[in-house]
Structure 1
Amino acid sequence: MIRANIYKRSIGVNFDDDGGSEVLVWAPLARSVELSVKNGKVLPLKKEKHGYWSLFTDELQPGNSYGFSLDGKNALPDPASVFQQEGVHGLSVATDVKKFDWTDGNWQNPNLSDYIIYELHTGTFTTDGTFAAIESKLDYLVELGISAIELMPVAQFPGERNWGYDGVFPFAVHNSYGGPAALKKLVDVCHQKGLAVILDVVYNHMGPEGNYLGQYGPYFTEKYKTPWGGAINFDDAWCDGVRAYFIENVLMWFRDFHIDALRMDAVHAIKDFSPKHILQEIKEYVDQLMQATGRSHYLIIECDLNDNRFIKPIAGGGFGIDAQWSDEFHHALRVTAGQKQDGYYADFKGIGHLTKAYSDAYVYDGRYSEERHRFFGSKTTGLAGQQFVVFSQNHDQVGNRMLGERTSALVSFEMQKLMASAVMLSPYLPLLFMGEEYSERNPFLYFVSHTDPELVEAVRKGRREEFKGFMTDAEAPDPQAIETFEHSKLQWGLINQPFHRAMLSYYKALIKLRKTHPVLKSCNRENVEVTVNEPQKVLILRRWDTDQQLLCLLNFSDQKEIITVNQLSGRWQKIFDSAARQWDGPGELSDINSDSTITLQPESVTIYNSNNV
């Protein structure tokens, strides 16, 4: 059995305390492997067990360019490269991952239930599009109330413009963002300011350009097909070396870069029928690392299978993953807010399904799906609220719209506030997508910067095909055009304008309420009761703890609605109203009437607190 090392990075080039370099590369089908250093040195590696080749040398120092020659062919970059200074087609740069003057020795990763997540794309979050530029916005995020930033993938991809899901060097930090040292500095500064860092990683496929893994060995298998071609080889011949490669990647981010959590992209596309699923094995290694270091780390997945095995404890027959994104909450919320029921929204019926999502996290938890033509999903009984991440928008749900429209371009000002409240009032982990807090108007479009003309045209064609199921006559912006990328950058000057300043003020107040109210800061799914008046489009959410209870009235109708609230017995105090004029709302209405009726403003949320439980 090939074992990853929890104490230090084993594969690629690593340096000991005396300056010598330990080299280990996996190339099981090669007859010879040589290390080529840019100064002209060519050094043979020794063949080891299980397809590995090794070398110890003092001829390679940090900062040197190097590659590996297989069977006497031209040198290729290192599959475990930490820095590709010259891009995906250049040689690798030797980097000592242990070297950095960390100042976060007293840092403690918050409990997962305390996470309020802010997802951002490094290249478009600021004008400069670098890790250093993100540092300049951290005080703003702290003031907003964020507790964790989530970086979209930073693994080296071709060119300078990409969402990051076309990465081909999982260990390498993208050069145009600042490289590995700049990422470490960002993490260190985040920890100084009380912010956790989540890193988005991709273990279900590799991008098409600059993907040299297949030349080193059987990293891929034709046993399964994915939307991106052959699947990563997690259970076919020679899979042990591949599994160790990705486990080492997880450990490196946590141990050497002090990342607090990983968000693993689309794990439903990972094909693994081994007796022990790769996700479970990753979790077991992370548990060992945490025991050895005393630091805590979390694993969060994106998964569209509604299969509770992924997030159930290992002892209970699951894979042990800490949390997952909940797309179904988003879909139900968007349809409730007026989204057409087309494409992947077709299976969602609006406020009734949103009510189900509040109660059960999964909308489809064994129910019949009309779009899938089968019963779908499993129950979430016994799973904690912090195991589900919810949002009103994210990079996928904005960027995978053909025109990249944010919620701000699709719904009214009041509906934006209501949708934000729907997320924050849930017993789940809330996530914001960069710019939503001040109603950013620029879209977030899909962009790439490939160098292969045929690949560029294939991407353009793929985008056109993707939107056939949506009702639109418009054409998708050119993903390759630099204008598409530039048009996706945040406009920070907007926060100085009254309209956007009011929205930002609203988000700050909403997040503060979430963080400070004892009922809302809890992710207890058991103390939740939700009812719905579908004709009036009003959802009534009640949450409580041992001392207090909250009643949240969410009116998704574009009309004033008069409702009778039977739960309003005892003494209640209104503590929040999205219609308040302080947030440019239409104004608060009269309070509860003697007959327990209340009039709700259109597209609004009103929250009442009681000490009687």
Structure 2
Amino acid sequence: MSNELKRKTGININAAGQAEIRFWAPEAESVELKTAKALIPLEKKDFGYWEAESDELKSGGTYHILINGETQIPDPASLSQPEGVHGPSAAVALSEFNWTDQSWKNPALGDYILYELHTGTFSAEGTFEGIIGKLDYLVELGINAIEIMPVAQFPGGRNWGYDGVFPFAVQDSYGGAAGLQQLVDACHEKGLAVVLDVVYNHMGPEGNYFAQAGPYFTDKYGTPWGSAINFDDAWSDGVREYFIENVLMWFRDFHIDGLRLDAVHAIKDFGVKHLLQQISEEVDNLMEATNRRHYLIAECDLNDNKYINPLERQGYGMDAQWIDEFHHALRVTAGEPTTGYYSDFSGIKDLEKSYRDAYIYDGVYSPHRLKTFGGKADGNPGSQFVVFSQNHDQVGNRMLGERTSTLQSYEMQKLMAAAVLCSPFLPMLFMGEEYGETNPFLFFTSHGDKELIEAVRKGRKAEFAAFHAEGEAPDPQSEDTFNQSKLQWGLLQQDGHKELLSFYKTIIALRKKYAPLHNANRKQLTVSSDPQTNCLVLRRWEEEVQVLCLMNFSSKTHGLTIPDDKPSWKKILDSADPQWKGPKAAPVSVDALQKMEIQPQSILIYTNKYA
């Protein structure tokens, strides 16, 4: 591996089997690498780095870092923690994996149909191998990209992944580095892209040895997790390089197709060049060197298109972002109470605005925030926005982790799915929604620190105060809480669930088949809504082909008039059809100006060009 295409931090095992060691500790007086049999001194280099080459550490060998002859810690850039977050680090030769995906081409981002999953609860095994066993199912569903919640090593074996403390080490209980490489290779063989969720805005509390290694944190800014990661204070160059190298590793050494960057609005960086800009530049350089395409998807709640504008337009260069506002408007339209952050959303008029403008709060007053909020996204195509009717946050951050299947009627589940899949944005499903999984997705941990366990329990209680939740939150530390969150694959053959799965397969196939549903051109649509009837009409087109989506979110039948500029329309989807356990099918063909009856909580989709 050339010097340009290998990690610049941690341990690389070279072709000769030697360990090339590079450790960042700018304030240390001495640094040594300690194995069971040897103590390897590192030589101080510029900018706070310490380096050495040694035959004493081979792939699979374990080690600690010894600072100033007395502070012994795992390696913050460890690739493996076989004994957990407090144990020794292990050297890994990532280049040993035998890839078979040389012909793989990452699809255009606008073609993505995403499926978010959590490794530990997606399959009975709770491993990468368990995911591999379900890939054929995902392909048959119509998915072409999976999004995996964070896999960086965390305490114990049960965690959402946002408490990771070794960003370079793949969770050992999931299958480690080799297991993830095997999963990505298998996905590419099946035609599936892989997006990985990563966390660069904070570190987890348990097993966090960063401050003992060097100035990874700064007191300049406060965050919900304590001191901010040091991206713009003294010695920040080394911290920035650490996280940039992490990005490059996932793309280069694991063949990951895209990264979802958690809560980038919580990254505190007021330097001339924002960390995200630098990441985008480095990824561009990598893509030029490897001729592989990779995407950067940000989670950002600022409604500021600076994050997703290209570098040449003085943006941060992220390819896309999650957009929670579409979700919030959809949930309120479906009848959920306007408590907590839902209080900013009035329902169907906001959903109409989101279809048209992406951002709902785009420079208007936000009652929840008590200020004018957001900006417009006029120049950003729909392929830059990921939308969903549920995700890990929106399900798991409910006190009881209820999914849509237990909160909404069967008919409304189909309508909400269609509202997402007919949008001009990138659709994302949350694991199990496609067949109406009834198990909750709860918040779970497996910390070892008793004080931390109690603090997490108290924090969960406080979090639900804004939603006026009653009762007790499930204990995050309990193994039962984790087990309750596992998918029930046996539901697939049960009445109601198999029909819902068939509905999802059908509408995903329609999105792929009909250009107006497939394109992400936000300019080629019209949308209107009526708060009195809670109905919405979405019309999309591509050249001569038009698609008309009639949505009724109310509990009553309503009449909607067919537009008059096309002589006739053919039905391509009817969520109220009895084949999907609906109450009544609508006519197959309708004429201009005909008044159509739309069944409660249903969607009708017509086209002028029946394929």
The TM-score by the shorter chain falls in which range?
A: over 0.9
> Deviation at 1:317?
1.2
SS in 1 for 2:242: helix
Partner of residue 135, structure 2: 138
Partner of residue 484, structure 1: 481
Structure 2 gaps of 5+ residues are none
Partner of residue 225, structure 1: 222
Matched, 1:27 2:20: no
Structure-2 change in CA distance of 1:595 and 1:610 (3 Å): closer
Partner of residue 184, structure 2: 187
Structure 1 distance, partners of 2:562, 2:371, is: 37
SS in 2 for 1:272: coil
- Confirm or deny: 8 A CA contact 1:347 1:371 kept in the other structure: yes
Partner of residue 98, structure 1: 95
Partner of residue 37, structure 1: 35
Count of residue correspondences: 608
Partner of residue 175, structure 1: 172
Residues 52-86 of structure 1: CA distance to partner in whole angstroms, max 9, x if unpaired? 00001111101110111000114211111111000
Partner of residue 129, structure 1: 126
Runs of 4+ in 1 over 4 A off after TM superposition: none
Structure 1 distance, partners of 2:573, 2:394, is: 28
SS in 2 for 1:43: strand
> Deviation at 1:19?
1.0
Structure 2 distance, partners of 1:22, 1:541, is: 58
Residues 301-337 of structure 1: CA distance to partner in whole angstroms, max 9, x if unpaired? 1000001100001111100100000100000000000
Matched, 1:417 2:414: yes
Residues 134-192 of structure 1: CA distance to partner in whole angstroms, max 9, x if unpaired? 10000000000000001000000000000000000000000100100010000000000
Partner of residue 326, structure 1: 323
> Deviation at 1:565?
3.4
Partner of residue 398, structure 1: 395
Structure 2 distance, partners of 1:43, 1:171, is: 22
Report the TM-score when normalising by structure 1. 0.98
- Confirm or deny: 8 A CA contact 2:563 2:593 kept in the other structure: no
> Deviation at 1:474?
1.7
Matched, 1:108 2:99: no
Partner of residue 377, structure 1: 374
The match for 1:598 among 592, 596, 603 is: 596
Structure 1 distance, partners of 2:329, 2:364, is: 15
Structure 2 distance, partners of 1:499, 1:556, is: 20
Partner of residue 238, structure 1: 235
Partner of residue 7, structure 2: 9
> Deviation at 1:15?
1.3
SS in 2 for 1:56: strand
Residues 22-50 of structure 1: CA distance to partner in whole angstroms, max 9, x if unpaired? 10000001000001012x20011000000
> Deviation at 1:595?
4.6
Matched, 1:259 2:256: yes
Identical aligned pairs, as a percentage?
A: 61
Structure 2 distance, partners of 1:555, 1:309, is: 35
Q: How does 1:302-321 map to 2 (within 5 A)?
A: 302-321=299-318
- Confirm or deny: 8 A CA contact 1:6 1:251 kept in the other structure: no
- Confirm or deny: 8 A CA contact 1:362 1:380 kept in the other structure: yes
- Confirm or deny: 8 A CA contact 2:569 2:591 kept in the other structure: no
Structure-2 change in CA distance of 1:593 and 1:225 (3 Å): same
Structure 1 distance, partners of 2:89, 2:144, is: 35
Matched, 1:201 2:202: no
| Amino acid aligned to 1:37 | T
| Amino acid aligned to 1:16 | N
Structure 2 distance, partners of 1:572, 1:193, is: 36
- Give the RMSD, CA atoms, in angstroms: 1.2
Report the TM-score when normalising by structure 2. 0.98
Structure 2 distance, partners of 1:74, 1:368, is: 52
| Amino acid aligned to 1:135 | I
Structure-2 change in CA distance of 1:568 and 1:335 (3 Å): farther
SS in 1 for 2:96: coil
> Deviation at 1:568?
5.9
- Confirm or deny: 8 A CA contact 1:6 1:288 kept in the other structure: no
- Confirm or deny: 8 A CA contact 2:570 2:590 kept in the other structure: no
Structure 2 distance, partners of 1:178, 1:502, is: 34
- Confirm or deny: 8 A CA contact 2:244 2:279 kept in the other structure: yes
Structure 1 distance, partners of 2:369, 2:174, is: 41
Partner of residue 572, structure 1: 569
The match for 2:581 among 584, 590, 593 is: 584
| Amino acid aligned to 1:327 | D
Residues 418-464 of structure 1: CA distance to partner in whole angstroms, max 9, x if unpaired? 00000000000000000000000000000000001100000000000
Structure 1 distance, partners of 2:127, 2:71, is: 33
Structure-2 change in CA distance of 1:326 and 1:594 (3 Å): closer
SS in 2 for 1:273: coil
The match for 1:470 among 463, 467, 470 is: 467
Matched, 1:550 2:547: yes
| Amino acid aligned to 1:428 | F
Structure 2 distance, partners of 1:164, 1:267, is: 16
SS in 1 for 2:205: coil
Partner of residue 18, structure 1: 16
> Deviation at 1:596?
2.3
- Confirm or deny: 8 A CA contact 1:28 1:51 kept in the other structure: yes
Matched, 1:432 2:413: no
Matched, 1:163 2:160: yes
SS in 1 for 2:94: coil
- Confirm or deny: 8 A CA contact 1:28 1:52 kept in the other structure: yes
